[in-house]
């Protein structure tokens, strides 16, 4: 099986390439018209930002648009999109909202992270105990919505004004900082924190806008195995927003069947999504909500085991079939 990817402005095409390769496709990426191979391929992905019409060179059973951006609402639609959209009926994304974009059906492509976690989802894990019901989160200190203005404070309750900063002409709200501070203020034991690194994710940059107190939220980066071990040990996984409302870590949370505490997903879809999420609404105080949920933790943990079933037994063959099933 062969897959061809025609890359334009998309900066994260490697995600699609890795995913299709993991699904058993011999995958080739080209970025110019002259490099498009003449041989037949099973599926061809077209970056809609291309500056040329590739249709006369493509020999494929199925053609579709794609982009690998984090945000589900990001689309870079060039002339090629409008010239081919009546012929190309599918648009593949990591995450998406809605059913279509200008009449082209939105679908998901396989995520390599999900494939890598199938064995974790099948492993026998210890039963839930309240002693281990400890919230866990490790992530970079990114911002909700890339510095979305918060006029009217749509994301803030009175208890979260400490997370306001100012950048250029926009107020900023950082849900990751807000959730960690809420855990502290509600005296809830927790594990993890923020991983500070260069540029605007550094502690120096962040402290200018969120105060020196963010230094106390620092922790070391966790690799995949460390993250999974912590979820198995702590049983409550937090999924606050970063650059977007979804996170790569959600697949780790699904595979370990921990109680999945998530920000509002605002209708986001993916090829593989959790069946059970405990939603924290925008402006809601995480800590006080967790305290109210404590009597139900055991039942919530049982319900979240259904998230493991989504990834359990996930093979390259099954992921490929799930992907192609969207085309029917």
pLDDT value of position 142: 77
pLDDT value of position 161: 40
Sheet holding 100-101, edge to edge: 26-30, 2-6, 41-46, 60-66, 90-93, 104-108, 100-101
Taking a C-beta distance cutoff of 8 angstroms, is the pair 117, 319 a contact?
A: no
For the chain, the structural domain boundaries read 2-109, 116-311
Taking residue 310's Cβ as centre, other Cβ atoms within 10 Å add up to 18
pLDDT value of position 140: 87
pLDDT value of position 284: 87
pLDDT value of position 114: 92
Q: Select the CATH number that applies to the domain covering 116-311 from these four: 1.10.3210, 3.40.50, 1.10.1200, 3.30.300.
A: 3.40.50
Beta strand ranges found along the chain (DSSP E): 2-6, 26-30, 41-46, 60-66, 90-93, 96-97, 100-101, 104-108, 134-139, 164-167, 170-173, 191-194, 235-239, 259-263, 268-269, 278-280
Which residue stretches of the chain are H helix? Answer: 13-22, 79-84, 112-116, 118-122, 175-185, 203-210, 224-234, 250-256, 286-293, 297-311, 316-325
Mean pLDDT by 10 residues, the chain (328 residues): 96 96 96 94 97 93 94 91 95 95 96 93 93 93 53 36 45 78 92 88 79 86 90 94 82 96 92 96 90 96 97 96 96
Report the SS3 class of residue 83.
helix
pLDDT value of position 145: 40
255-304 confidence digits (pLDDT tens): 999 999 999 888 999 999 999 999 998 878 899 999 999 999 999 999 99
């Amino acid at each position: 099986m062969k897959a061809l990817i025609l890359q334009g402005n998309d900066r994260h095409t490697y995600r699609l390439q890795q995913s299709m390769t993991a699904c058993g496709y011999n995958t080739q990426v080209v970025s110019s018209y002259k490099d498009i191979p003449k041989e037949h391929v099973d599926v061809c992905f077209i970056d809609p930002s291309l500056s040329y019409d590739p249709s006369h060179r493509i020999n494929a059973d199925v053609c579709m648009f794609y982009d690998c951006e984090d945000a589900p609402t990001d689309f870079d639609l060039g002339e090629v999109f409008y010239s081919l959209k009546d012929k190309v009926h599918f648009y593949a994304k990591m995450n998406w909202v809605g059913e279509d974009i200008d009449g082209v059906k939105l679908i998901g492509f396989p995520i390599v992270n999900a494939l890598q976690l199938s064995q974790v989802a099948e492993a026998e894990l210890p039963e839930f105990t309240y002693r281990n019901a400890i919230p866990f989160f490790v992530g970079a200190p990114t911002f909700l919505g890339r510095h979305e203005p918060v006029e009217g404070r749509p994301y803030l309750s009175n208890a979260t004004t400490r997370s306001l900063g100012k950048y250029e002409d926009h107020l900023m709200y950082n849900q990751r900082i807000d959730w960690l501070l809420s855990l502290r203020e509600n005296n809830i034991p927790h594990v993890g924190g923020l991983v500070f690194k260069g540029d605007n994710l550094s502690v120096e940059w962040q402290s200018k806008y969120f105060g020196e107190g963010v230094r106390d939220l620092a922790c070391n980066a966790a690799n995949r195995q460390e993250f999974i071990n912590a979820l198995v040990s702590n049983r409550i996984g937090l999924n606050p927003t970063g650059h977007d409302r979804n996170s790569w870590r959600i697949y780790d949370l699904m595979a370990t069947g921990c109680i999945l505490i998530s920000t509002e997903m605002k209708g986001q879809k993916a090829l593989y999504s959790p069946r059970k999420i405990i939603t924290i609404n925008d402006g809601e105080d995480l800590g006080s909500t967790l305290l109210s949920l404590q009597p139900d933790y055991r039942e919530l943990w049982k319900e979240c085991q259904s998230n493991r079933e989504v990834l359990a037994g996930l093979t390259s063959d099954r992921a490929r079939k799930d992907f192609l099933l969207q085309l029917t």
